[in-house]
């Protein structure tokens, strides 16, 4: 007795699943980066009252091949007395214990790192839940 299987439909469903997983992961990554951006903006200092640091923040989600990546960034730069450009966002983020007098109550150094660490598991769950929704 001979048995034949045609796997075309099976492989097509795998291709569909791969697309659905990437779509779900991208949607979940957008949700996670939106949340991290919001939380980190609330913690970022308002040094001059103008909110330059908060205004220069943003997020980016990319899908490339089989990878989905997300980033949240702050990109404020300023010039020192000598005209040299320095990364104000990095300096304020890394101030540590020298951050004694925040310009706005409730702001703090590590304004991006802290909410990321505090919510890392939640963000992973957001991506996983979004993939599950896409596959259902």
Could you read off the pLDDT tens digit of each residue along the chain, which spans 136 residues? Answer: 345 556 566 556 666 788 889 999 999 999 999 999 999 999 888 765 557 788 889 999 999 988 999 999 988 877 888 988 878 787 777 776 565 555 667 777 888 999 999 999 999 999 999 999 998 8
114 and 96 Cβ atoms separated by less than 8 Å: no
User: What does the pLDDT read at residue 99?
Assistant: 56
Is the separation of the CB atoms in 22 and 66 below 8 Å? yes
What does the pLDDT read at residue 1? 39
pTM greater than 0.85: no
Domain edges within the chain = 17-135
Residue 2 is predicted with a pLDDT of 47
């Amino acid at each position: 007795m001979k048995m034949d299987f045609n796997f075309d439909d099976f492989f097509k469903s795998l291709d569909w699943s791969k697309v659905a997983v990437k779509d779900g992961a991208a949607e979940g990554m957008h949700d996670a980066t939106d949340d991290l951006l919001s939380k980190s903006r609330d913690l970022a200092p308002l040094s001059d009252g103008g909110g330059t640091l908060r205004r220069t923040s943003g997020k980016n989600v990319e899908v490339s091949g089989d990878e989905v990546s997300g980033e949240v960034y702050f990109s404020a730069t300023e010039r020192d007395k000598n005209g040299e450009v320095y990364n104000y966002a990095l300096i304020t983020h890394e101030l540590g214990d020298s951050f004694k007098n925040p310009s706005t109550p409730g702001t703090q150094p590590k304004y991006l790192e802290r909410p990321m660490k505090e919510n890392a598991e939640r963000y992973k769950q957001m991506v996983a839940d979004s993939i599950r929704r896409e596959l259902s």
